[in-house]
Amino acid sequence: MSAAPPSRRESTAKPLSRERIIAAALRIIDADGADALSMRRLAATLGVQAMSLYNHVGGKADLIDGVAEFVTREMRLPKPMEGSWEDRIRTIAHAFRRTSLRHPRACQLVLTRQLSSPTALAPIDCSLTVLLDHGFDEETAVRALRLFTAYQVGCLLREFYASSENRGEDDAAVRERAGRLAGSGFPAVARVAPMLAVIDHEAEFAFGVETLIEGLRKHAPPLASAGREGR
């Protein structure tokens, strides 16, 4: 799921620019994580002196903000968004999941970092607008945003890290794990062993989104509920 590691040195034929620097930083993060990013490594990757980077970026914090903005732009949310508030929340959630799978390590920055630039704030504003325009009060809209963000963080961490050992498994490996679970001595685990042995991240993500939406409906004002019933 992550990008190929960056080459040791890139050609310096192209002039140095903020966009080129951010793209190289993203490749390092995709390959090795944000902790592996340093101005010295980035300069070596680009084949320049570290001090020359400061003509275009303010330092590592600015780099990470730039990477977060780049990832945010990749979400490509439709404008205008169609459908009910539920449909629009689904669109935003699944768009971010698709981007997360392309840049899982970088997306953690978007989900966990305090962002302030117009580009990085765009999907946050979009999510809040969906709820506010359908009559949700400000406090509920903010809490719902943070709830969905926490869910996205958990799903991303689980799918990318916790399940790495299960990627590319064949049917025999799944059956072997189901057999171990069935013989675990725990009745509930044994009962659902065939399902517990298989991980369908996309289906489970969709189930979670629908569950969150169903819970949010309890807080929907009459305007939002009427819109849903009138579809």
pLDDT of residue 1: 42
Q: Is residue 7 part of a domain?
A: no
User: Other CB atoms closer than 10 Å to residue 97's CB: what's the count?
Assistant: 20
Q: Is residue 59 part of a domain?
A: yes
Q: Is residue 4 part of a domain?
A: no
pLDDT of residue 204: 94
pLDDT in tens, 168-177: 567 888 899 9
**230's tokens:** 């009138």
Is residue 44 located within the same domain as residue 102?
Answer: no
Is residue 66 located within the same domain as residue 90?
Answer: no
- Per-residue pLDDT, averaged over 109-138, amounts to 82
pLDDT in tens, 16-54: 999 999 999 999 998 898 889 999 999 999 999 999 999
User: Using CA of residue 81, residue 82, residue 85, residue 89, what is the dihedral sign?
Assistant: negative
pLDDT at 230 over 50: no
Q: Is residue 80 part of a domain?
A: no
pLDDT at 4 over 60: no
Query: Looking at residue 35, which CATH number applies to its domain?
Result: 1.10.10.60
pLDDT at 11 over 50: no
Is residue 68 located within the same domain as residue 89?
Answer: no
Q: Is residue 8 part of a domain?
A: no
The torsion angles phi and psi of 108, rounded to 5 degrees, stand at: -60, -35
Q: Is residue 1 part of a domain?
A: no
pLDDT in tens, 91-123: 999 988 988 888 888 887 777 776 666 777 888
Measured CA to CA, the distance from residue 103 to residue 2 in angstroms comes to 6
Share of the chain above pLDDT 90, in %: 47
Q: How many CA atoms lie within 13 A of 138 on its CB side?
A: 0
Q: Which domain holds residue 177?
A: 85-225
How far does CA 130 lie from the centroid of its chain? 19
Q: Is residue 5 part of a domain?
A: no
pTM: 0.76
pLDDT of residue 27: 93
Provide the number of structural domains found in the chain. Answer: 2
DSSP helix, strand, coil percent of the chain (3-state; round to 5): 70, 0, 30
